[in-house]
Amino acid sequence: MEEQNNSGAVNPEAQPKPAAQPVPAAARPGAALWLKIIAGLYALSLIAAFVVINKADAARKTRPKDLDLSKLSGLGKSKKDAVAVIPLYGAISQGSSGHSWERGSQQIAKRITTLAAKKEVKAIVLDINSPGGTVGAVQEIYSAILKAKAETKKPFIARFGEVSASGGYYVAAACDQIVSHPGTITGSIGVIFSVSNFEGLMKKVGFRSEVIKSGKFKDIGSPSREMTLDERKLLQAMIDDSYDQFVTAVSVGRKMPVDQVKLLADGRIYTGRQAMDAKLVDKMGDLQDAIDKAGELGGIGKNPRVISDSDPFENLLSLMDSKLSLFGAKSVVEAIEIAPSLEYRWYGR
């Protein structure tokens, strides 16, 4: 309520004062000056941009016709371009499971297909350190390389480690070039089918095997008896056919006549330098040399960025898998595995 004095009149000092109105920004001291400065800087930036555009256009119109643009060829390339390295270590087999961390032929073939399809991968290096393996597994990887090359047109380089023999060389024959150490063990171009015979031992311990079969060849390769003449002929025919496939792969890959390949393909092994003299290898060098060559063939030059075919999680699982075998989980199974197999393999290792 309004205060009244003794006379009953309203005291004007006791009445509430009206709230103060905000002062417009433009009316604040110095605000107008700052707005003018910002507007001036904006105008200057527009003028500078216009001048740069005009100069660039003038330079383009007056560029010498004989300017060598090849020196600028690397300006348009993505920094992501790289060479992929896929390791192929140990004996080659299909693998006992479909685990992604295993190095069975199906996983390696899948990695080849996947990496070759990546846009940033311009070439692939197969880092081979293998004595070979089963025929089907070797040919699975070989076929994956040929398909990837046909679909992507990307170069493949094989790098040989300490051993790259038999099936290891078969895989390399699909590549565009092979780089090897001078002392690498390679060659062993051929096929083998090993059968064990425990018949004499089983007789000594009183063990006899009884077999009921649907045909005379059903237990071919049985370790409990000697091989028959007909079985030997049948297996030799398989060996000859598989050998012919190997020779053809080398002939096509190395661009050599079949007769010339057969002179080299009697199962003998070579050093890397001997293999180069025989035209089975293209260049002496190490892994970096192979990567540099892949970069050159892929159009991204020497010392390219490298994509390693490894995943930390998969590496951990692979390590655990291998350590478990020390307790007999795998070694026992492999020790009693006596089924014969057709192999592109060097048994010196």
Six-digit token pair at 289? Answer: 């040399």
Query: Looking at residue 343, what DSSP letter applies?
Result: E
Kindly tell me the sign of the dihedral angle through the C-alpha atoms of 145, 146, 152, 158.
Answer: positive
Angle at 56 between CA 50 and CA 60, to 5 degrees: 145
Could you tell me whether strands 283-284 and 305-308 are parallel, antiparallel, or unpaired per DSSP bridges? unpaired
- Phi and psi at 122, nearest 5°, equal -100, -15
**Residue showing tokens 């990567």:** 291
Query: Mean pLDDT throughout 115-120?
Result: 94
Residue 244 pLDDT exceeds 90: yes
Of 105, 166, 242, 251, the active-site residue reads 166
C-alpha distances in angstroms, 317 versus 23, 124, 137, 141? 71, 25, 22, 23
Of 55, 218, 302, 323, the active-site residue reads 218
Domains of the chain: 82-190+257-345 (3.90.226.10)
Helix (H, G, I), strand (E, B) or coil at 255: coil
Residue 133 pLDDT exceeds 50: yes
Query: Looking at residue 298, what DSSP letter applies?
Result: T
Six-digit token pair at 162? Answer: 């300490």
10/24 Cα distance (integer angstroms) = 35
Least confident of 14-23, 215-224, 259-268, 304-313: 14-23
For 305, what's the count of Cα atoms within 13 Å in the CB-facing half-sphere?
A: 10
Q: Decide which of 122 and 321 is more confident.
A: 122
Residue 47 pLDDT exceeds 90: no
218 among known catalytic residues = yes
Predicted confidence at residue 131, as pLDDT, reads 92
* Strongest mean pLDDT among 35-49, 63-77, 249-263, 309-323: 249-263
Angle at 244 between CA 242 and CA 250, to 5 degrees: 105
Predicted confidence at residue 30, as pLDDT, reads 60
Per the rule left: phi > 0, alpha: psi between -120 and 50, beta: everything else, 181 is beta
